[in-house]
Amino acid sequence: MLGGRSITLFHVRGIRIAVDWSWFLVLFLVILWLSSFYSDVLGESSYDTEPFALAVLSALGFFGSIVLHELGHAFAAVRNGIGISSIQLWIFGGMARMDRESDTPATEFKVAAAGPAVTLAIVLVLAAICIAAAGWHDFREAALVDSDAQISGPLAMAAWLATINAVVLIFNLLPAFPMDGGRIALALAWWRTGNRTSATRFAATLGRVFAYLFIGVGLLMVFGGNVFGGVWLALIGMVINGSARAATAQTAITGRIEGVRVADVMDREPVAIPGELSVERALDEYFLRYRWPWFPVVGAGRRFLGLVVRDKADEVPEVSRATSLVADLVELDDGTFEVSEDAPLDTLLGNRALRRFGALMAVDADGRLSGVITAEQVGRALRDAAS
């Protein structure tokens, strides 16, 4: 969906926030449009400093609200053991890149609903501030982008931000997969049927229906004279249709391994390094013996602690290796390197960590290492199911 390379802006709790070049077009159009609106509200020329400054601040506020929306998804995902590699904004909104799919309907619902919940909070806070300061009548006129609104510039900005976030909220809650409303519909269908594949197929079909609806309405708007709005809505419909078609195609693949769990294909005798082992012994007995670049590390009762990589062990001075413990070198796991042994195998098909490391650590309900699942084993399961 994103075209070209993205530009990294900053990081939030290790999550990369980036923008596609197309997002700058959105900011430019918002600033251009709002400069005229604020000049009418303030009774000044659009070339004056204050209307332009308010337009720039509004555009940045809109940018910030989209980031907060996506961070809502991201934090909900992290709380449910799903890693987030980045958040990317582009011309049609934002997208949090998850390392894997949700493994339960409840998790899918929580992650999908978190973004709209943040946007709703933004709308309520901004609306409350405006109504308290200017009254309902003036807030309503400013929210409707009425140039006759008797309201100050900053409150007009707050009213516009409340309005645009309300529009984003309503539009995003339409059950058009892969928008949030579509993902919520998927979660509910998954919970109702207990079948992720059929739920995804249902949500994708809904998405395609809305996509064709958007395209049709967009074309009517173009013929009615609203060229910009019509083209924009039609393009959104085309993007949704493409994503829904891709989801439908993926269900044809995931349906082959429906009902197969990680525990059904994993290696149940993984080689793991005890955390209390010295770095010297780990190098001699594991890294030099197996020639692997990393190993899982376990603590008491084989509880999975994380991974230790060869480069980290090599950095320990030779004189200190006999007294240094492997546990001190562990890259603590935040859910990126592990998967539940009861997770459906199809949830690993889009797992970035599995593609990057080639394997994931399977853990039981108590967090104990119970096996290792590799990309090769997942591929073999797909081939066996297709034959």
Given 1.10.3720.10, 3.30.470.20, 3.10.580.10, 3.40.190.10, which CATH number is that of 262-386? 3.10.580.10
Angle at 168 between CA 163 and CA 170, to 5 degrees: 95
Give the whole-angstrom CA distance, residue 197 versus residue 32.
45
Domain definitions of the chain by residue range: 1-173, 186-257, 262-386
Query: Within its chain, how far is the Cα of 223 from the centroid?
Result: 36
What lies within 8 Å, CB to CB, of 322 at 6+ separation is 278, 279, 280
With beta carbons less than 8 A apart as the criterion, state whether 332 and 305 touch.
yes
Q: What is the pLDDT along the chain (387 residues), one digit of tens a residue?
A: 444 467 888 888 888 898 888 788 878 888 888 887 778 777 665 456 888 888 899 989 999 999 999 999 999 998 988 878 788 887 767 888 887 778 889 999 999 999 999 999 999 999 998 888 877 777 776 666 555 556 677 888 888 899 899 989 999 999 988 899 999 999 999 999 988 888 989 999 999 999 999 999 999 999 988 887 788 888 888 989 888 888 887 777 777 777 788 999 999 999 999 999 999 999 999 999 999 999 999 999 999 998 999 999 999 999 999 999 999 998 766 667 888 898 888 778 777 778 888 899 999 988 899 999 998 998 888 887 766
**pLDDT the model gives residue 94:** 81
Looking up tokens 């709308």 gives 123
* pLDDT for the residue 1: 42
Q: Identify the three-state secondary structure at position 304.
A: strand
Residue 335 φ/ψ region, left for φ over 0, alpha for ψ in the -120 to 50 degree band, beta for the rest: left
Q: Where are the alpha helices (DSSP H) in the chain?
A: 22-42, 49-79, 105-134, 136-143, 153-172, 180-193, 196-223, 227-254, 262-265, 279-282, 288-290, 310-314, 352-357, 375-386
Would you state the pLDDT for residue 148?
A: 56
The DSSP secondary structure of 76-112, one letter per residue, reads HHHHTT--EEEEEEETTEEEEEESS--SSHHHHHHHH
Predicted pLDDT at 333: 61
